[in-house]
Amino acid sequence: MLETSGRLLRLLALLQSRRTWLAAELADRLEVTDRTVRRDVDRLRRLGYPVSALPGVRGGYQLGAGAELPPLLLEDDEAIAVSVGLQQATVAGLAGLDEAAIRALIKLKQVLPSRLRRRVDTISKGIGALPGGGRSADPELLLDLARAVEEHDQLRLTYRRHDGTEIRRTVEPYRVLHAGRHWYLYAWDLDRSDWRTFRLDRLGLRTPNGPKFVPRPLPDDLEHDLVRGITTSGYRYQCRLLVEASAERVREVFGPTVAAVTSLPDGRCEVTTGSASLTEIAVYVGLLEAEFTVLEPAELTDAVAAVAGRLARAASRSGPLR
């Protein structure tokens, strides 16, 4: 029985490696008779693999596309290539593919032999990113977090806040997401009894994980909560502005990773954003080409005045060189 199972796996691997095989070619590779090949093909069909028999002198067998994805058998070098490719997809933040890449990488790493896992890690360490291309996340950290989300494991974290101080938290993880230049963990903070968004480049895991948890209902306005957590909560300064422009126009300048934009009944909008620098916010708001009023904090008004003064002085000095 074990010999037959092993031969079926070898036959499946051969069918996956090439579009069409002659029965005689398969028999030669497997060192069996044509009759045994036919029997093994029937076994694969009963297991749900869509193996087609092609008529004619040059006919043979072909593995077709089925209603479900069958297990994929990979050679060592193929498994390494797929693993490294999935790691790069996760840290690149490919739209719509990053979370799927994490899930696929979890499944693949669970079955990789240790010798291949070491080779994957060695190759991955030698692959870098161009400066300015965004900040990548540690693939192992991404896998640990995604696995905890899937298995409903509490996590014990260390987290570095915007002012450099380090805190410890116990959380229930619900989402791992990529936005702009960073990766984030969206979780229920058991210490604060509230939803929190944590930047992965500031986060460290403490071992062991906490106990299992029963998932709680997500916020009704999950998207707004995520945007607020990414754009505002994690920064030293949290600012609100009233902008004399429509929310649609403002969102064209401020994407979902920069500010939370709320429409107002009178056609204006309220912008909430955060930064480590009030000057940065003052400069960025100037890109709107719209009138605005600072709602909070009062210090932002001073930063806007300082930037405006420097720009006015620069404009007064501008002119042909003498």
Strand order in the sheet with 269-275: 259-263, 269-275, 237-243, 292-296
Tell me the CATH architecture of domain 2-63.
Orthogonal Bundle (1.10)
CA angle 185, 86, 145 (to 5 degrees): 25
> φ, ψ for residue 22 (rounded to 5)?
-75, 150
If pLDDT is split at 50, 70 and 90, which confidence band does 308 have?
very high
Per-residue model confidence (pLDDT) at position 250: 92
Say how far apart CA 118 and CA 100 lie, in whole Å: 23
Q: Which of 4, 12, 1 shows the shortest CA–CA distance to 48? A: 12
Domains 139-218 and 233-316 share a fold: no
Please tell me which residue, 233 or 24, carries the higher pLDDT value. 24
Mean pLDDT confidence for 42-60: 81
pLDDT digits (tens, 9 = 90+) for 93-127: 555 556 677 777 776 776 677 887 777 776 665 55
Asked if the 139-218 domain carries CATH number 3.30.750, the reply is: no
Per-domain boundaries in the chain: 2-63, 76-125, 139-218, 233-316
pLDDT in tens, 213-259: 999 999 888 887 888 888 887 788 999 999 999 999 998 888 877 88
Q: What is the pLDDT of residues 172-189, one digit of tens each?
A: 999 887 776 678 899 999
Per-residue pLDDT at 79: 77
Domain 233-316, what architecture? 2-Layer Sandwich (3.30)
